[in-house]
């Protein structure tokens, strides 16, 4: 028998959810799928302390046209903890660039390598996650990232967001696989009211369906 699976597809594009706001994600039809994998990302978007922000609730239903009471929480996730630091880019960096110009990364506390960082763009959909592999210190005014940028980033529109710690990351990432044999639809709630005095957040979700075995 042949395995049939789709390609990874964006469900909810990167978008801002301001502190205390709640974003309802797009409903995903899984009625013809055996399994669904959700790739979910949540990033802190400003230099405000987080004790866990946002809460992300994955809801499922067996109803094709669900009413409010038909949705059930499948799992609850909580985003990063810590106080972000931010640093603006110094130049326009094209897609695929791996060396990113930024002033004094050590002084700005963007010098923790071997971590995922968030590049926030004023056009939220152009924001992205990068993995920092090296930095030049203040003498060189650059950081180096793995794989290269997915989008063009500019000094006017883009900032690097991190948490000043060797291990704690400003981005939370989950891959959640759900058995869809008895399900019809899935959706996400992005709850930035989980910490009422916390930071604004940016979230993204993509999905892959297995529709044949």
Please state the rounded mean pLDDT for residues 136-161.
98
Q: How confident is the model at residue 141 (pLDDT cuts 50, 70, 90)?
A: very high
pLDDT for the residue 3: 79
Q: Which residues of 198-209 are buried (b: 16+ CB within 10 A; e: fewer)?
A: bbbbbbbbbbbb
Tell me whether the CATH fold assigned to 4-80+170-212 matches the one assigned to 84-163: no
- Which CATH class for the 84-163 domain? mainly beta
Provide the CA 116 distance to its chain's centre, in angstroms: 11
For strands 22-24 and 35-44, give the pairing: unpaired
What the block records as the tokens of 152 is 């063009």
Please state the domain extents for the chain: 4-80+170-212, 84-163
pTM of the predicted model, to two decimals?
0.96
What the block records as the tokens of 27 is 């409903």
pLDDT for the residue 1: 56
Contact status, residue 164 vs residue 105, Cβ threshold 8 Å: no
Provide the CA 165 distance to its chain's centre, in angstroms: 19
Q: What percent of the chain has pLDDT over 90?
A: 96
Cα–Cα distance measured from residue 34 to residue 9, given in angstroms and rounded to the nearest whole number:
17
The architecture in CATH of the region 4-80+170-212 reads Sandwich (2.60)
DSSP helix/strand/coil, 22: strand
């Amino acid at each position: 028998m042949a395995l049939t699976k789709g390609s990874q597809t964006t469900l909810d594009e990167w978008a801002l959810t301001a502190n205390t706001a709640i974003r309802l994600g797009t409903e995903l039809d899984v009625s013809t799928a055996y399994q669904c994998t959700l790739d979910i990302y949540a990033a802190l978007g400003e230099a405000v302390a987080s004790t866990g922000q946002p809460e992300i609730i994955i809801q499922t239903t067996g109803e094709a046209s669900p009413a409010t009471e038909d949705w059930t929480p499948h799992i609850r996730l909580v985003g990063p903890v810590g106080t972000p630091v931010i640093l603006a880019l110094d130049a326009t960096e094209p897609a695929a660039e791996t060396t990113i110009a930024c002033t004094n990364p050590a002084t700005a506390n963007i010098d923790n390598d071997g971590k995922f960082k968030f590049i926030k763009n004023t056009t939220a959909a152009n924001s992205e996650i990068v993995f920092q592999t090296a930095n030049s210190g203040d003498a060189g005014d650059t950081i180096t990232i793995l794989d290269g940028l997915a989008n063009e980033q500019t000094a006017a529109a883009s900032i690097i967001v991190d948490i000043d710690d060797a291990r704690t990351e400003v981005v939370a990432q989950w891959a959640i696989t759900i058995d869809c044999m008895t399900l019809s639809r899935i959706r996400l709630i992005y709850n930035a009211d989980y910490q009422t005095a916390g930071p604004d957040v940016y979230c993204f979700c993509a999905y892959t369906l297995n529709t044949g075995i």
